[in-house]
Structure 1
Amino acid sequence: MSAVMPLTRTPGVSIWLQIEKALADDILGGRVTGRLANELELAGRFGVNRHTVRQAVKALAERGLVEVLHGRGTFVREEAIDYALGRRSRFAHSLAKARRVGASRLTHDAERVPEPEVLALLELPAGSRVVQVDSLDVVDDKVVGVCTQYFPLPRFAGIAQVYRELGKTHLALARLGVETFERRLGRVTAKLPERAVARQLKQPTATPILYVESVYVDAAGRPIEYGISRFNSAMVQVLVEP
């Protein structure tokens, strides 16, 4: 966190707007990073009351320059990760293209009969079993996504162990004989996170997440995976590719 330059007031312009502009200039210029000074500190620096500072910070949040994390403070928002939702691309490919360090951290796996809608998306008959893999997408040591993936059995028996070893889905699929695949379905919605997901993403339950659903098929058109990724919308933005 860097010191904020004293405010040079402009007649006819609301004080909170001038504070918002001064802070925005410092953020965009790289002079303020990480955690923003608290309301009391900013009020002292600008010689105003806390309500005026609060208006300015709210405007910064609406512009997407800062993120207010209740109980923790206000933080300058880092550059969002572009997730290209293309036919043959996965999140790992977008990270590699952006030269970001990412990995999947498996938290749970099980063989089970999933909900009917999952079976329908995988084109499996009622009562079929799948491997469910739960994981966290970690980028630069920060959790940006909470994921659940379903793989048909018996074709993908053992995929959880391979996934845990290799750290990326497409590498695990290749190990099990699926080197060519494409996305048949890509659906993005904004949802409020469940409490457990919000805790893993370290964000409030009142802040929407990006809920991304994907169905992948092999070269023969057979579904091989249905996946749900719940992304922190402050850290990931989705780009739809043709």
Structure 2
Amino acid sequence: MSVLDDAGVTEIARGGGIAAWRQIADDIEADIASGALTPGMQLPTESQLAARFAVNRHTVRRALAELATRGLVRATQGRGTFVEARPLAYPISARTRFSENVSRAGREASGKLLDAVVMTADAMVAAALAIPLGAPVIRLDTVRLADGSPISYGHGFFPLPRFERLGDAYRAYGTITRALESRGVSDYRRLETRISARPAHAEEAAKLDLAPGRLLLTVDSINVDATGMRIQFTRAAFSADRTELVVES
């Protein structure tokens, strides 16, 4: 147990059989549990923490790595280390909407369109959308966030020419639902969802501000319009530390 002394230095118990880095991690975890450190709050720098605990930066770095492994903090390149929010309960049902799910949890939803690419459908995309192999599609690459924290990174495929310039609509309206509305799809529902888990690839880890190799929940989904026509196939990766997928009947 550490004690904050009058000089503002947190003393670490020496020689008690508990490594200094673990004591530091436990101390910061206790601050998070007590509410002294709240979700989204930025931690002091490594140098400041090293001074506070009277240790070297390597010891602090190991403590922060342990906290990141526990899913309690998130290190962001060039910005610092932040307290993670509680995992978001994300319902998956016949009518899954990212913005609605996030708002229902009392958090602010947002999204970023990283790229919009016109391409030909490979075997997987063609089968998912029930279109001929090689048919034209538009792929939207997006990162979706809750309270500014990246929750999912994915690729959505939409058949052409029906959804021509869908990327422009997404940029204008900020959500897939509204972008589809602008293309005449007033409502849609989930036809199929497949969920699995695997470690994050380097690109996914970078997009989601995760350490490489952290666990992802992957969701492949197919949406159809009111007539049953397949309109969207999405492959999305969710941070397992930040998301709890809840399958609803």
Into which bin does the TM-score normalised by the smaller protein fall? 0.7 to 0.9
Q: Which moved more, 1:109-118 or 1:98-107?
A: 98-107
Query: How far apart, in 1, do the equivalents of 2:65 and 2:154 lie?
Result: 32
Taking the TM superposition and a 5 Å limit, the aligned residue runs for 1:134-145 are 134-145=141-152
Shift of 1:41: 5.0
Identity percentage over the alignment? 28
The gaps in structure 1 that reach 5 residues or longer are none
Aligned residue for 1:121? 128
Query: How far apart, in 1, do the equivalents of 2:124 and 2:62 lie?
Result: 45
Aligned residue for 1:31? 36
Query: How far apart, in 2, do the equivalents of 1:177 and 1:4 lie?
Result: 62
Corresponding position: 1:164 with 2:179: no
Corresponding position: 1:107 with 2:114: yes
User: Which of 70, 76, 79 is the equivalent residue of 2:86?
Assistant: 79
CA spacing shift, 1:161–1:57, aligned 2, 3 Å: closer
CA spacing shift, 1:223–1:22, aligned 2, 3 Å: same
TM-score, structure 1 normalization: 0.77
Aligned residue for 2:238? 231
The one-letter code of the counterpart of 1:30 is G
Query: How far apart, in 2, do the equivalents of 1:112 and 1:223 lie?
Result: 18
Shift of 1:228: 1.6
- Spell out, residue by residue over 1:86-126, the C-alpha distance to the aligned partner (whole angstroms, 9 max, x if none): 11022111112123222222121122112211110111122
The one-letter code of the counterpart of 2:30 is D
Aligned residue for 1:150? 157
Aligned residue for 1:241? 248
**Is 1:212–1:229's contact at 8 Å kept on the other side of the alignment?**
yes
CA spacing shift, 1:65–1:5, aligned 2, 3 Å: farther
Aligned residue for 1:184? 191
Query: How far apart, in 2, do the equivalents of 1:134 and 1:204 lie?
Result: 21
Shift of 1:21: 5.9
CA spacing shift, 1:119–1:154, aligned 2, 3 Å: same
Shift of 1:19: 7.0
**Is 1:36–1:75's contact at 8 Å kept on the other side of the alignment?**
no
Shift of 1:64: 4.0
Shift of 1:56: 10
Shift of 1:137: 1.3
Kindly report the root-mean-square deviation, in angstroms, between the aligned alpha carbons of the 2 structures.
3.5
Count of aligned residue pairs for this structure pair: 235
Query: How far apart, in 2, do the equivalents of 1:195 and 1:64 lie?
Result: 18
TM-score, structure 2 normalization: 0.75
CA spacing shift, 1:102–1:151, aligned 2, 3 Å: same
The gaps in structure 2 that reach 5 residues or longer are none
Shift of 1:57: 7.7
